[in-house]
Structure 1
Amino acid sequence: MFLLLPYKLDHPLHRRPWVTWAIALLCLLIYYLQSSTAVRIEQSAAQFCAGDHGMTLDRFLVRLEKENEFIESTASACQQYLVYLHSEKQPDSIIQNLVSEHGEELKEAGINPQNLAVHLSMTYRDFAEQAPLDLTRFLSYRAGSFNPFSSFLSAFAHADWWHVIGNLVFFLAFAGAVEVFIAHTGKFLLSLFAIEVGLDFSWSIAMLSAPAELTLGLSGIVSGMIGFLAYAIPRGQIRCLFGILFYFWHGTLAVWVLALWYVGWDVFYLFTTGASSVNYLAHVMGALFGYGIAGLFYRQRKGELQENIDKELVRYQQERVHRVGRF
């Protein structure tokens, strides 16, 4: 096992990244609400499926042997299928596809597929009226529709706790440094939004020849912060936690080295990996847009700070032995 975890930029710019911290707290709060809502939806589904509608749906799913796609052994087919439908933005389309797949079987059993699809849709609507809104579905964004505000909003939602924590570790390390570098709250937020607009544009182009996919999470913006910092302070030193098996130590790596490492792997996976839950396109394009935004709008700022940064780098070289230790 190899671990490389960046956690803080060593810099001479004495400013606290309040906005970065606030965004991190917002992401944690939103995911807490997402997970709480998911529990309430499951409870609503269990209650709904205990009635007559639920038993009918359960028998139908078991007959088609579709329950294994949606359920665990601890829940009914009805309950898990309703939760699944409630998490999708086009449940009627999913129902129609399910019925269409088994149209011949249904006709042989004397069941009209179209009537069944209508019945299932009405059953789901009855459930949806009493179930809480699925916050994850509401916040997720269909890549390719080009709606920058909706795309930006989806960045604050995540799929699970590992997803949000992993993104925030990198966001705090790199976005905090970018915020300190820019030293202006409005410009920092505008830079984040500009990166998301660029991502949305990229998705729209990419989805012209592929089905639009739902996306959520902060990783595209995180990559944008890595790219931004690679231009702004390429030789800046990031404190990192390293680990091999059970041996851990901490030290520093230059920003450009980390950018090359992370973005390089994203480029590799983008061209070698098929369908994946990780949006490598967002990672790569985010890094490119972050680098470009820094180069277009913050060249002067980089020049103003370069002397202080160079002095700090000299100090790091002199104190490197004292800064590196073991936990």
Structure 2
Amino acid sequence: MLIIPAENAVNWKRPPWVTLGLMFTCLMVFLFYQGSDSRKLEQAVSEYLASDLQSLEAPAYETYLEREISIQGDESRIHELQRFQELQRDNDEFWLALSLLMDREFYRYLESNQDVLWSVRDRARWNEQRSPIEANYIERLSAFQLGLVPAELSLYTLVTYQFLHGGWGHIIGNLVFLFLLGFTVEKALGPGRFLIAYLVCGALSGLVFTAFSLGSPVPLVGASGSISGLMGMYVAIYGLQRIRFFYFLGVYFNYIKAPAIAMLPVWLGKEIYDYWFAGATGIAYMAHAGGLLAGAGLVWLLGRSWLQVREEFFEPEADEQDARFTSGYGQAMASLGRMEFDLARHQFEALRGHYPDRPILLEHLYQLAKLRPDLPEYRARTIELMNDALARRQPEQMIEVWKEYLAKGEAHQPLGAEDHNRVLFTSLKQHDTKAAEKAFERLRGTGDQLLTVEACRLLVEEFEKLRMEPKARHYRQLLQAN
């Protein structure tokens, strides 16, 4: 049974760059760093067969497996014994040699029990021929260099093992789940915090795996622990919110809606159950369980501080926002058509609270306020629209709004010196000297001496550049009078 969250779609206008970067890194490591592993294994098997070490180790291997089954009660070894006996019957030397070389617990058993297993002469031959194969090939495999070996735990391998994989099926499966979960969690946390949380979940997952595999020489590789951390973070972020999950059971699949956090015990219980009852599958179930707990725990512990979810994460996607805006805008315009101006104003104000970056809403509010030029709201909307036009680099609109206010509202609610001064600066940049002079007269009338003197200097400079000496002389005289 497979259950994965399916609440969000990818917004390719804002790609999940860290998720894509992690996927690319895993793929490049697999292709270019781990790509030499197969050659090393082939060389190891070739030397192993040439040394005829199989004649020494094969009988010991059967004894070892039978011992594990009878004394240790490890029933998963039954399948390994049966498979090994089949390889012997088929005389498949390559796979026999590979099985003997890659069973790390068996190799450690040979090292510890060689005095009992072989004569002095056979022990000497085994050490002389097996040690170089280990040093030159097996120990140089990527899984032993950068994988997480519980018996030889080191800090750097808690990170590096997350980027190694055991084969094409392993890496493809992990990359699919990394993408499905990663783009949502990255959107929620932001790129930097997402990357750190991903790596921390992988490290904690590795520590849990080590705790349940103390002393094991078998390396752990793969991003599944980190990805389980993403699953834990995903459901902790949504909490009790009901979200969609895709599930696959046999040949049947469908969607269900459930509180997000309800999936955590389901996933966790499955991993723990499989750890105890699934047998030898080669899957690190406790690493997955550790990742799930690590991801959820990080969000619960740090969700109100460093790992806080960004507010915009819970906002609807762009298409849904457009649909909602269109619906609300249509209702407000209908109110205008019925001449229900107060209702329309409230509707436009509510829309603007949700969509502050839509300038059309401010323009409607300005037009509604203009119906009563004697009220302070008209002045406030005028200043707001002038500033918005300037911010959107539309100086002509700013000047036109200002001129309109002078004609309709200035007599009731005069603009301030700063407003006229801003228009003067904008007009000079647009080389509109008439508007600049008009703004200067309004500014002068406010009585703000400091701004008036500075504006006068600017007009002198502008008219001198234009070689309009009478105008320049006029403003020089005003400047001297002040």
1:258 to 1:63, Cα distance in 2 relative to 1, 3 A: closer
Q: Deviations over 1:253-294 (max 9, x none)?
A: 764354444233224334555665322222222112211211
Partner of 1:189: 195
Higher relative CO (CA 8 A, sep ≥ 6), structure 1 or 2? 1
Q: How does 1:104-183 map to 2 (within 5 A)?
A: 106=118, 111-112=119-120, 115-128=121-134, 131=137, 133-143=140-150, 146-183=153-190
Structure 1: which amino acid aligns with 2:238? I
Task: Find the aligned partners of 1:120 and 1:170 in 2 and give their Cα distance.
Answer: 44
* Runs (5+) with no aligned partner, structure 2: 63-80, 325-482
Task: Find the aligned partners of 1:18 and 1:28 in 2 and give their Cα distance.
Answer: 15
Q: 3-state SS of the aligned residue for 1:122?
A: helix
Question: Normalising by the residue count of structure 2, what TM-score does the alignment of the two structures yield?
Answer: 0.50
Partner of 1:322: none
Asked if 1:291 is matched to 2:296, the reply is: yes
Structure having the higher Rg: 2
Structure 2: which amino acid aligns with 1:164? I
Q: Is the 8 A contact 2:242 2:260 kept in 1?
A: yes
Q: How does 1:87-106 map to 2 (within 5 A)?
A: 88=104, 91=107, 93-97=108-112, 99-100=114-115, 103=117, 106=118
1:153 to 1:142, Cα distance in 2 relative to 1, 3 A: same
1:212 to 1:39, Cα distance in 2 relative to 1, 3 A: closer
Structure 2: which amino acid aligns with 1:76? E
Task: Find the aligned partners of 1:8 and 1:20 in 2 and give their Cα distance.
Answer: 17
Q: CA offset at residue 172 of structure 1?
A: 1.3
Q: CA offset at residue 89 of structure 1?
A: 9.4
Q: Is the 8 A contact 1:144 1:205 kept in 2?
A: no
Q: Deviations over 1:141-163 (max 9, x none)?
A: 12365533212111221223222
Higher helix share: 2
Q: Is the 8 A contact 1:27 1:156 kept in 2?
A: yes
Partner of 1:60: 56
Q: CA offset at residue 191 of structure 1?
A: 1.2
Q: Which 10-residue stretch deviates more, 123-132 or 213-222?
A: 123-132
Q: CA offset at residue 194 of structure 1?
A: 2.2
Structure 1: which amino acid aligns with 2:190? A
The total of aligned residue pairs comes to 299
Task: Find the aligned partners of 1:10 and 1:237 in 2 and give their Cα distance.
Answer: 13
Asked if 1:214 is matched to 2:219, the reply is: yes
Q: CA offset at residue 303 of structure 1?
A: 6.4
Q: 3-state SS of the aligned residue for 1:214?
A: coil
Partner of 2:228: 223
Q: Which 10-residue stretch deviates more, 175-184 or 3-12?
A: 3-12
Structure 2: which amino acid aligns with 1:99? Q
Structure 2: which amino acid aligns with 1:137? F
* Runs (5+) with no aligned partner, structure 1: 320-327
1:236 to 1:28, Cα distance in 2 relative to 1, 3 A: farther
Cα RMSD after superposing both structures: 4.3
Q: Is the 8 A contact 1:44 1:130 kept in 2?
A: no
Question: Normalising by the residue count of structure 1, what TM-score does the alignment of the two structures yield?
Answer: 0.70
Q: CA offset at residue 225 of structure 1?
A: 0.9
Q: CA offset at residue 213 of structure 1?
A: 5.1
